[in-house]
Structures are given as C-alpha cells and as structure tokens.
Structure 1
Amino acid sequence: MSRDKILEEIIEGYRNAIYQRYQYQNIKDHYGLPETITEETVTELRNYFLNYMYPPFNRRAELNEAFESLDNYIKHPQKLVRILLDAVKLILRYGRHLPKILTAGLDALKSFRAASNFENNLVEEAIKNNIVAPYNLATINKLIKLLSRAEIEKFINDSQSLFEILHDKVVIQKIKEIIQYLILVMREKEESYSPSQIIGLEIGLEMLSEGDKLFNQLTKEDQLNLVNLITEIEKDNLDHIF
C-alpha cells in the first residue's frame, strides 16, 4: 500500500474516531452536560471538527497547499504586519496591539496544521511498525500509543488555542477584520501574492467565522464550558489510550 493510500485510510479512521468520541448521548452520560448545551450544539461542534480540523482526504490537497503558503507567515507574522502598514484605519484603531492581534489569529490557524502533522506522524508509525489497514478505532489508538504522550499533549494544546480565541469575542472580531483586510490588499496586488496564499487566508477566515458562529449561539458561560469540555474529553481519551 502506498504512503498516500495509508494516509487516506488513517485520515478516515481518525475522522471516525472523532465522530464516535463526540456523540451527544455518550458525552452527556460521562460528563453531565448542562441543559443549555444541546444535542444540536454537540453535533455542530463535531461537524466543525470534521469540516475544518480533520477534513476528508479529497479536500486535503487544496488545504495543504493553502496552509503551506501561509506557513511562512505563521512562522514570521511580521511579514503580514508589513502589508498592514498602509492600513491607516486599522493602525489608528488598534495601534501597537495590531501585531499581537494578528499573531493570535495566526495561532488559531495553526490548528489545521497541527492536526495534519499529527496524522502524518501516525502514518510514519504505521509504516515503521508494519501496521496495516483497516484502521479502525482500536488500530488508531494503537498507533497513537506509539507516539510520545508529550507530543500528543502538545497537539491537543495547539488545537485548543483555536477554541480559546473563539471564546474571546472581542479578539475574534478584531482578527476577522484584520484578515478580511489582508485578503482585500492581496487581491488588489495579486502580482505580489500567490493564489494559494490568498486562498489560505480565505479558508482561515471561514474557519474562524464558522467557529465564531457556533460559539455565538452560546452564553459566555457555556462557551467556557464547551472549551473546558473539549479539553477534558481529549485528555480523558489520552488517559484511556495510555
């Protein structure tokens, strides 16, 4: 089996694991959800994971290209800050806080890359240890156990940063405005930016906007409950595996 085929099978296997882990009744039985976090909310959260953090294999090529183009900016946010130097409106509004807000936005977008790197590490372990498909839940957990716990905890923390930012309504609105402006500037100067760089920011904006929409349905208290719940579920799953 080729590496790409193994990756495709592992992506599908991990998506199935996420689907099972975020079943409403299972979560309610084990974590005692407040009445205000409904089955619809949990379903939307699960769909958000599956659409934006762990999308299907057939969407990965476009997403990987887009986020690879953004990686340089994620690692060097000052390059995006330079694009914003002509944005008098944004500079007057946010002043010296502009780089910090932009960096927070880029940190949120790291979640997809963290998930992608995690899946690639599972592929490496499958190849190295000759663990073949089908990659059902037991096999996926077996592969995860071959990774270091510290590595997986870092992955969980990287993913968590997205939800912590979504919980901060003031910051998320500022991030969305800044990214919208960056897209506008890049489109006006398309000779200076690749299509994949622009698409990367557009996908990032969509990821943040859809997450913001999900969180906007909840009270501030339930937003925090949801962030803490995700952390607890992921840590408990890790404890179960190890």
Structure 2
Amino acid sequence: MNKEKILEAIIEGYRNSIHQRYQYQNIKDKYEIPESIDEETVNLLRNYWLSYIYPEYSRRKELNEAFQNLDNYIKHPKQLLSILLDASKLIFKYGRHLPKILTSGLKAMKSFRIAANFENSFVEEAINNNIDGPYDQSKINTLIKLLPRKEIEKFIGISQSLFEILHDKVLIEKIKGIIQYLILAMKKNENAFSSGQIKGLELGFELLNEGYKLFNQLAEEDQRKLVYLITEIEKDMLGYNE
C-alpha cells in the first residue's frame, strides 16, 4: 500500500473506532452521565466528530485543501485583524477584546488541522513498523502506543479547548459574528482573497456553528459535564489515564 492508501485505510479505521466508543450504551456502562445526556445527545456528538473532526477520506481531502488556505491566518492573524480594524461597529462593540475573540475562533478551527496531523503520525508509524491495513481497533491501539506522549497530550489539549469554546455561549456568539463579518468582507474584496481562503473560513464557521448547536441544547451544567466526558473518553482511548 502506498502512503495515500494507508492514510485512507487509517481514516476508515479510526472513524470506526469513534463510532464504537461513542455508542450510548457503551458510555453509560463505563461513565457516570446525567439523564440529560441521553442517547440522542450522544448520537449527535458522534455525528459531529465524524462529520467535522474525523470526516471520511473524500471529505477530508476537500477540508484539508480549504484549511490549508487558513493555516497562515491561524499562525499569523494580522491580515484578518486588519479587516476588522475597518469595522467600526465591531470595534465599538468589542473594543480591545476583538483580537482575543478572533484568536479564540482560529484556535477552535485549528482542532481540525491537529486531527489531520494526528492521522499523519499514524501513517508514519504504520510505515515504519510495517503495520498493514485494514486497521481494526487492535491495530489502531498499537499505533497509538507508538506515538510520543507529548503528541497525545497536545492532541487532547487542543480537542478539549475546542469543546470548551463551543460550550461558552457568550464567546461563541461573538466569534460567529466576527467570522461572518470576515467572510462577507473577503467576498467583497475577492482580488485580495482567494476562493480557497474564503471557503476555509466558511467551513470553519460551519464547524463552530454546528458544535454550538450541539452544546446549546443542554443546560449550562450539563454542557460542562459533556466537555469533561468527552475529555475522559478520549484520554481513555489514547491510553492517557493508564
């Protein structure tokens, strides 16, 4: 198998792993969860993981291309900030907090990029250790154990940050407003921004908005419990709690 075929097989294997561990009965048997986090909520959470963080291979290629266009903004957000500095309404509304809000939004979007990097690490370990596909749960576990602990810690930290932002209703509403403004401003100045850059920001907005919908259906206390639950499930899966 060439590198791209291995990546496709690993994505399929890891998606199967997510599908299995985010089954309501499995979670209920292993963790203490409130009644409000019911089977429907777990199903929505699983679908969110599989649609936006770990999409299937064909969708992943599309998202990778879009988010690669945003990488420079995520690393160096000054160009986006320069657009916002012309928005008197936003400056009046958020003042000196505007850069911090934008940075939080870009940080949340970065979670998709870290997921892609995580899978690329699996590919490297599979090649270096002659672990061929298909990749069932046993082989996925073997690949996880080959990863440096620092890489696992980084992945867990960024994933947790995403869900903490998504459950912060006040912050996410501000982020959404700013990102929507940026998209409209970039579309009005297409000579300065490529369609790929705009598409990346639109997909980033979708990622945040759909995650917000997931959390917003729960009471504040249960949102915090869901963030904690997701973190514990992922830590257990990645052997972090061992």
Provide the rounded CA distance (Å) in 2 between the counterparts of 1:158 and 1:240: 15
Q: Is 1:116 matched up with 2:110?
A: no
* 1:36 Cα deviation after fit: 1.0
1:36 partner SS = coil
1:69 and 1:196 in contact (8 A); partners too = yes
Provide the rounded CA distance (Å) in 1 between the counterparts of 2:238 and 2:206: 29
Aligned partner letter, 2:90: L
In the TM superposition, 1:92-171 aligns within 5 A as 92-171=92-171
Using structure 1 for the length normalisation, give the TM-score.
0.98
Runs of 4+ in structure 1 displaced over 4 angstroms?
Answer: none
Q: Structure 2: which 5+ residue stretches go unaligned?
A: none
1:218 partner SS = coil
Provide the rounded CA distance (Å) in 2 between the counterparts of 1:164 and 1:60: 24
Percent identity over paired residues: 69
Structure 2 CA distance for partners of 1:240 and 1:177, relative to 1, 3 Å: closer
2:15 alignment counterpart: 15
1:49 alignment counterpart: 49
Provide the rounded CA distance (Å) in 2 between the counterparts of 1:61 and 1:207: 16
Provide the rounded CA distance (Å) in 2 between the counterparts of 1:45 and 1:117: 22
Provide the rounded CA distance (Å) in 2 between the counterparts of 1:114 and 1:239: 18
Provide the rounded CA distance (Å) in 2 between the counterparts of 1:106 and 1:7: 26
RMSD: 1.1
Give a deviation string over 1:11-45, Cα, whole Å, max 9, x none: 00000011111110010011121111110000000
* 1:239 Cα deviation after fit: 2.7
1:78 and 1:99 in contact (8 A); partners too = no
Provide the rounded CA distance (Å) in 2 between the counterparts of 1:66 and 1:2: 24
Provide the rounded CA distance (Å) in 2 between the counterparts of 1:103 and 1:6: 34
1:108 and 1:165 in contact (8 A); partners too = yes
In the TM superposition, 1:200-211 aligns within 5 A as 200-211=200-211
2:15 partner SS = helix
Using structure 2 for the length normalisation, give the TM-score.
0.98
1:111 and 1:162 in contact (8 A); partners too = yes
How many residues are matched?
242
* 1:240 Cα deviation after fit: 7.5
